[in-house]
Structure 1
Amino acid sequence: MDFSLNIKQELKLILTQEMKLSLNILEMSSIDLEKFIEKECLKNPLLEIDFSSKSYKQKGDDSEDLSPFDFISEEKNLIDFLEEQIGFLKISKEMRFLCNFIINNLDKKGFLSISRDELKSSCGFPLKYIDEAIEIIKTLDPVGIGCKNLQECLIFQLHKKNIIDVKLEYIINNFMQELASLKYDFICSKLNITENDLKKYLKIIQSLNPIPSRGFYMGDTTTYIEPDAEIKNLDGRYIVIMSNKNIPKLKLKSLENHQDITGEMKSYFNSALNIIKCIEKRQNTLENILNIILEKQYSYFSNPKEKLNSLTLKDISAVLKIHESTVSRAIKNKYILTDRGIERIKDMFIINNKKIFIKEKIENLILNEDRENPLSDSEIVELLKKENFNIARRTVVKYREELGIKSVYKRKLKI
């Protein structure tokens, strides 16, 4: 029997109700915050909305100043739908966090277009956990979510329908461009199949969903978004202007005698003060983040021909001395108005701008290659050198594989 005394030191973060409220408010979109404020005003007799503020219009106001942005779609977005499904799965907290992190890095079509290594450098999880999380995400609805490109998405859907056909998969992997151009004779000759066979394959492909996010971000109805801030040119210099248009201005009801603040009323008083403080903190945090984004991406906002520079959550957190998760919460479901239009704040972050630009070059070179005499990796290196991009062959191989493009031997049409 062991009667020795073992002392174990643990560091635990215990979130108070105030801290939880602050984090929740930080994460809310403008429309969610508006609903939250109106709900709290009904519950708390000491809270009231200051309708004298020009930044917020009372419901039913027929003012001519009404903007279409005052009417925001309440349609559930794809990210919320996926995170809701993750919440029902019996997985660890760490895996749930990782799944949600990856979900928030899907592109507009619902594809996971960034590489595993980029995810690892952003979240710090080992690749085996990232792979596990990706497989979990692929089990969610809509089918095809989390696939890296169109080809993988379509083939994934085929397998879900128990359709296993080598030639059909070969068409999807190699002839999507020819299908789109209606070059049916060319495909039939290369695959040695009849036009009727091709039409059957085409009918199956058309039954699949090429855009997993369809139904969430695309539709017949117009969706209006209220920007949380504007990047505006004033006197030749771009600055951040915060928008409080859809955020009701809160104030405490005046009390004749402060001694009345006892018992239950004291609880209402403290709750009201905390809500007002949390909303102010939300706005200040978001404004600080946007000011750094503007500084780092100034050329992008000031020149329509410029692209985004490399920028990560870690860069922002290091400057503001706050956790990366706080930055992530603050920018979630939030938008800015720029000279280019309304853009998601999340889209202002990019891990490696030069890398993405070179990958686009590689993809375009391969898309326009001779299908019977495709480009080798060495040939791609030489073509890139002519455009002053000096990268090694192994880098081209790495980027090509991240794009989901097969080697020259597998791309060559040999039927």
Structure 2
Amino acid sequence: MSKSNTEALNTFLAQRFPHESEYLQATSEVLTDIMPIYNANATYKHYDIVRRLCLPERIIYFTVSWMNSHGEVEVNQGWRVQHNSVMGPYKGGLRFHPSVNLTILKFLAFEQTFKNALTGLPMGGGKGGSDFNPKGRSDHDIMLFCQSFMRELQRHIGAQTDVPAGDINVGAREIGFLYGEYRRLNNRFEGVLTGKGLEFGGSYVRTEATGFGLVYFLEAVCKAHNTDIEGQRIAISGAGNVALHAALKAKQKGAIVVTLSNSKGTLACTSGFHESDIQWAIHNHTMESNVLTALCQQSERNMQWHKAQTPWSEEVDIALPCATQNELNHSDAESLIHSGCKMVLEGANMPCTERAQQAFKKAKVVFVPGKASNAGGVALSGLEMAQNAVFSQDDANTLDAQLKTIMQNIHYRCEQEGTSDTGIDYAKGANVAAFRRVADAMVAQGV
């Protein structure tokens, strides 16, 4: 497939899915890197691997009609995108948010396939969710919705088929409600969901895994570039599990974390948050309507709340976008470059726009895509699946050590495939390393 054929495939996807911008962005970014590998392999071309890999194996859509605690009927939409199962059961989170739609879930499932392949664990890629918004809802209403959602989803998942986890707005509470309904309906206690409570098959370190894994990957990047995390000024976006645990681990490694943010604005602390600040936010972020303003008000340190602003205007050495897709645009990238930022590692799924990524590359800022640096959560989910399969529960120290090893191995794979005379291209390395693993498995299993 020549360059013109690459363009033809992008056109093929764009014509069939003209309104799915996030999905088209994700596929286009990957195709740029993997096409030379595809072109050089006659077997890949014979099996039309790239086209098959871009298209989901199955998309499940369902309506969730449910009655809230006031006796009112509500109607939401639900999806499960089962993108690729060639390397194992579909694996990926469930997201409950008003912005959830098919294009977002297709891009997430596509990215998840590559991310899961990088971990080295036997997992395929999938993603799902609903446009239900749990914000401001009672626990009872959330339970009623989760039960109704699972009554539809349970037909399509299983420990050896599809193993969902949590994502935005789907935490331990929601996973518990979902799992309880699955167990009652199927009369089976099995590892069909990850992120469960410790009392019923959950795993230590799962809550912390994505944020901790991000910092473990950052450690490996720093080592490869002859530097260290200690003393580095870090801007972090987000105020959920990923951002807060990344902030905590970075602080424990000696970094100076100067920002956290949410959709309402940015909390900045020029001298750096103390570990006690971050711990307070971790313990209270699900109980406060805006945990960052609450932290600012209760702290005795010099913090500034910047309403409706992003964290990317601060002078920092490292940026860790951990909020949501396409949150960091070209203008933000230019601000970071101007302030002397040397590294950007994605803690969310595709938080940097395509133009932002191009700006980082042009300025020779080290850029690591989420499919590599964000893989800690699903890696720990894979370890939870392994524990469930043998009815065991490993201790936190063992799992933390395994998580660090997996992130170091992902860095090694990216380094092997992405190193050239000009340095390490982590985006290319991640895409190529994951593609080889998935493509070889697809060839081995035939059409």
TM-score by length of 2: 0.22
**Larger relative contact order, structure 1 or 2 (CA cutoff 8 Å, min sep 6):** 1
